Structure 1
Amino acid sequence: MKLERYFIESNEADARLEIVAAKPQYPGLNPTIIFNHGSTGRGHNKALYSRTVSPAVVADYFTERGWMALFPQRRGRGKSGGNYGEGLASDGSGYSCNVEIAVAGFERAVEDVDAVVRHLRERSDVDQHQLVIGGVSRGGILSIAYAGMRPNTFRGAINFNGGWLGRGCPNHEVVNPSLFQRGAPAGIPTLWLHGIHDQYYRIEHCRGNFGRFLSAGGRGKFVASPMGHALMFKPALWTITWTA
C-alpha cells in the first residue's frame, strides 16, 4: 500500500481540503472508495478538529483487494483550511440540537464531498465506473444521503454507525431519518453496519432510519453487530458480512 497526502480546492477560497489516498500495489485504473470521517464527539474539544482521520483498518481492507481509498478531511478538520462549521452552536458548547443549524452543517459537508468527486473525475488512475462512497458516524449518513443527492455517481454506499445528531439531542429523531431518506433515489446497493451497543444511536433508532430509507425506495442490507460506536475498528465483525 502506498499513501499519498495532498490538498485540493474546495468551494471556498483559501480553504483547501486535505486528502489522504491509500493506493494498492497494482498498475492501471483503480476502483475507488471515498471514505468520510465522523464528528468529534460532542464538538466542544477543538483540539480534535486538527486530527487527520484515515483509519488504517479501512485502507488495508480496500487496498488489499485492489481498491484505492480516499480519506478527505472536510473544511476545518485535519489540515484542511477554513473553519469547522458542521452544525456547531454559537456559544461554543459543541454541536447544536437545532434542526436548521444541524441541517445547514450537513449541507456544508455535502459541498466538500462535491469537491472530492470533482477531484476524482480528474484523476487518471481512477476507474470512473467503479466508485463507492462510505463513512463512519456523520460520515456514514453523509455517504448514504450524498449517493442519492448525486445519483449515477456511485455503485454502492457503506454506512458504519451513521447518524448526524446523537440521542443526546431529541431532534435526532427528526434530522437523522430525513437525511437518510435523501439517499433513496440513488437506487444502488447500500450496506448499513451498526453496533447494538452504540452510545450515540440506539439500535432501534438505526433500524427505524433504515426502514424509512427502504420505504422511500432505497435498497440495502442492515447488519447489527455486538459492538459499540467503534465497530469500524473490529473488522472480524464486519468482513464476514461483506464476503458472505
Structure 2
Amino acid sequence: MKFERFFISSGEADAQLEIVAAKPQREGPYPTIIFNHGSTGRGHNKSLFSRTMCPAVIANYFVERGWAILFPQRRGRGKSGGNYGEGLALDGSGYSCNVDIAIAGFERAVEDVDAVVRHLRGRPDVDQSRLAIAGVSRGGILAIAYAGMRPNTFKGAINFNGGWLGRGCASHEIVNPSIFERGASAGIPTLWLHGSYDQYYRIEHCRENFERFLLAGGQGTFIAASAGHALMFKPALWTNRVDQYIAALSKE
C-alpha cells in the first residue's frame, strides 16, 4: 500500500490542509472514508502539533476491503497551514476547560472537514453514494457530530474512543454529550468503539454520551472492548465488528 500526500484549500487564505490518502490498486470509483485525527494529549507540547497522523493499521484495514481513505490534517496540525485553534488556552498551558473555548475549537474543526468534503465532491475516483466518516478521540466525536450536522452526506460514521475534553476537565461532562448530540439527526447507523479502561474517558461517561445520542434520535451500536485509549492499534478487538458494519453499509 502506498500513501499519497497532497494539499487542498481550507477556505482560509494561506492555510492549506495536508491530506494523506491511500486507495486500492483496482480502478475506481471507490467507497471512501475520511478518518479524523485526535488531539495531542494535554496540548502543551507544541512539537506534537507538526506530526502528520495517518495510522497504517487503519489505512491497511480499509484499503484491503476496497475502500479509499483520506487522513486530513486540520489547520495547524501536521504540515497544514494556519494556526492550531482547537480550544487551546490563551496562556499556552494546553487545552482549555472553558466550555465556550472548547466548543469554538470543535466548530473550527468542522470547517476543516467541510473543506475535505468539498474536495471529495470533485473527485471522479470517489463513489459519491458510498461516503463514510470516522476518527479517533477528538476525531471520533467529530465524525459522529459532523454526520448529523451535514445530513445526507455519509452512509456511516465510526467513532474510536471519541470525546472532545478528557476527564481532567470537569466540563467534559457538559462538552462531550452536547457535541455528540449534534450527530443524532444524521439518520444513519453509527458505530461507537470504546476502550473499557480509557485513561481520558471513563467507560461510564462514554455510555452516557451514547445514551444521550440515542435519546436525541441517533442510531448506533456501542462496543466496549478490553483496551485503553489505544484501541485503534489493536485491530483484533474491532475488525469483526467493523467488517459487519461496513458490509451492512454496502448493502444499503
**In the alignment, is residue 41 of structure 1 matched against residue 53 of structure 2?**
no
CA distance in 1, matches of 2:129, 2:143: 18
CA distance in 2, matches of 1:28, 1:46: 39
> Secondary structure of 1:140's match?
helix
Deviation sequence 1:53-100 (CA, Å, 0-9, x none):
000000000000110000000000000000101000000000000000
> Secondary structure of 2:54's match?
coil
Unaligned runs of 5+ in 2: 245-252
Q: CA deviation at 1:240?
A: 1.9
The change in CA–CA distance for 1:76 and 1:145 in structure 2 (over 3 A counts) is same
CA distance in 2, matches of 1:27, 1:175: 43
Deviation sequence 1:182-222 (CA, Å, 0-9, x none):
00000101000000110000000000000000000000000
Unaligned runs of 5+ in 1: none
Q: Which runs of 4+ in 1 moved over 6 A?
A: none
Equivalenced residue count is 244
The residue aligned with 2:236 is 236
Partner letter of residue 109 of structure 2? A
Aligned 8 A contact 1:2 1:24 in 2: no
The residue aligned with 1:99 is 99
CA distance in 2, matches of 1:154, 1:101: 28
> Secondary structure of 1:2's match?
coil
CA distance in 2, matches of 1:2, 1:87: 33
The residue aligned with 2:68 is 68
The residue aligned with 2:249 is none
> Secondary structure of 1:220's match?
strand
CA distance in 2, matches of 1:6, 1:204: 40
CA distance in 2, matches of 1:63, 1:239: 13
Alignment of 1:23-62 (within 5 A): 23-62=23-62
CA distance in 1, matches of 2:26, 2:210: 36
Deviation sequence 1:99-148 (CA, Å, 0-9, x none):
00000000000000000000000111000000000000000000000000
The residue aligned with 2:223 is 223
The residue aligned with 1:13 is 13
CA distance in 2, matches of 1:88, 1:235: 32
Alignment of 1:1-244 (within 5 A): 1-244=1-244
CA distance in 1, matches of 2:70, 2:28: 17
Percent identical among aligned pairs is 79
CA distance in 1, matches of 2:241, 2:30: 23
Q: CA deviation at 1:241?
A: 1.7
Alignment RMSD (CA, Å): 0.6
Aligned 8 A contact 1:161 1:195 in 2: yes
CA distance in 2, matches of 1:104, 1:243: 35
Aligned 8 A contact 1:11 1:115 in 2: yes
CA distance in 2, matches of 1:28, 1:138: 30
Aligned 8 A contact 1:2 1:25 in 2: no
Q: TM-score, normalised by structure 1?
A: 0.99
Q: TM-score, normalised by structure 2?
A: 0.96
